[in-house]
Amino acid sequence: MSGNKELKIRAYHLTGNIDIKSCRDKIREKIISEGKTDLFVESGLEQYIFIFNYGVIAFYNMGEKEIGIALNRYFPSVSKAHLPTDDFVLKSGNQDEIKVEFNSLSLHLINQETIKIAMLNVAQSVALMYYDTVSQDLLMRVRQFTTQMEEEGKLKISRKNIMKFIGKALNTKNRIAENLYIFDAPPVTWNNEYLEKVNSTLSKHFDLGLRYRSIENTFSIVEDNLHAFMELYHQSESSKLEWIIIILILVEVLDTFIGKII
């Protein structure tokens, strides 16, 4: 790529995992690289699509109409209007330094590999954006329960609902754990100093490690509260059972007593 250009990367999170094999069967363009977890496609002249099984699809140097057509082909039931999204710009320049700004990165060498690394980091960023939203929603629900306990002295939630809530929290945490590999440096950076520098610069810019740890901490708080809720629920159930036993004993005693009187 030559001259001073600014080309956009746009990434969408589809909220669920993506079947890479299914996407592979729908591709009409040139596949640059593929694996079990991702698919990198050249969709046109200096245009690329990067699909990740953790729920993200990223586009490079593609217009709104082209993105819409591609999304409709791979995911016909999905509307991009309601998807978590993030944009980032790659700039080409004559300077040797790698310069990162608020929403852009300037490189003197922009090729297929640097584009791929940039798309990977934007994809990771939008995935974290989605999981942060999910974790904050769970934390907000927990706060509603703890506020209820503070104000009313009891927890108004059925066993079924608390189990569903725990299941949602654990499933979300498990999905994040399954995708921990997304924060590993791509293999191409291991033996290439320039690519490693591009990747580390972008990783720091997007605060990927810090944001992931923040999400982990939020889930830890949610888990601690869920354990407390379950303890309270078990105590409540145990108390009910004790009263049932006491009542049954009293009924038996009264029945025996009345039987002797009669």
pLDDT one-digit tens code per residue, 20-50: 999 999 888 899 998 888 999 999 888 999 9
Which pLDDT value is given to residue 237?
58
In a shared domain, residues 57 and 167: no
Per the DSSP assignment, residues forming a β-bridge with 87 are 10
Beta-strand pair 6-13/47-52: unpaired
Which pLDDT value is given to residue 4?
60
Say how many C-beta atoms besides its own lie within 10 A of residue 151's C-beta. Answer: 8
Mean per-residue pLDDT over the chain, rounded: 82
In a shared domain, residues 206 and 162: yes
In a shared domain, residues 75 and 100: yes
The sheet carrying 56-60 orders its strands as 30-34, 38-44, 47-52, 56-60, 6-13, 85-92, 104-107, 99-100
pTM value > 0.75: yes
Q: How far apart are CA 56 and CA 43, in angstroms?
A: 17
Q: How confident is the model at residue 230 (pLDDT cuts 50, 70, 90)?
A: confident
Which pLDDT value is given to residue 257?
62
Residue 231 has pLDDT above 90, yes or no: no
**Single residue among 95, 123, 151 that ends a domain in this structure:** 123
Segments forming the whole domain that contains residue 183: 125-261
In a shared domain, residues 232 and 183: yes
What is the number of structural domains in the chain? 2
In a shared domain, residues 154 and 232: yes
Counting residues of the chain whose pLDDT is more than 70, the rounded percentage is 82
**Single residue among 99, 123, 147 that ends a domain in this structure:** 123
Contacts of 188 (CB under 8 A, 6+ apart): 113, 116, 117, 195
In a shared domain, residues 103 and 148: no
**Single residue among 105, 123, 141 that ends a domain in this structure:** 123
Residue 255 has pLDDT above 70, yes or no: no
Q: Tens of pLDDT along 100-147?
A: 888 898 888 888 999 999 999 999 999 999 888 888 888 888 888 888
In a shared domain, residues 145 and 231: yes
In a shared domain, residues 254 and 136: yes
Which pLDDT value is given to residue 209?
85
Contacts of 94 (CB under 8 A, 6+ apart): 108
Q: Tens of pLDDT along 150-201?
A: 788 776 777 777 778 778 778 877 877 776 555 667 777 888 888 899 999 9
User: Do residues 198 and 107 touch, judged by C-beta distance below 8 A?
Assistant: yes
In a shared domain, residues 81 and 160: no
The residue ranking higher by pLDDT, 12 or 146, is 12
In a shared domain, residues 104 and 136: no
CA dihedral 34, 123, 184, 196 (to 10 degrees): 90
In a shared domain, residues 191 and 242: yes
In a shared domain, residues 129 and 256: yes
CA atoms within 13 A on the CB side of 121: 27
User: Do residues 162 and 233 touch, judged by C-beta distance below 8 A?
Assistant: yes
Which pLDDT value is given to residue 117?
93
Local structure of residue 188 (DSSP, 8 states): G
CA atoms within 13 A on the CB side of 11: 26
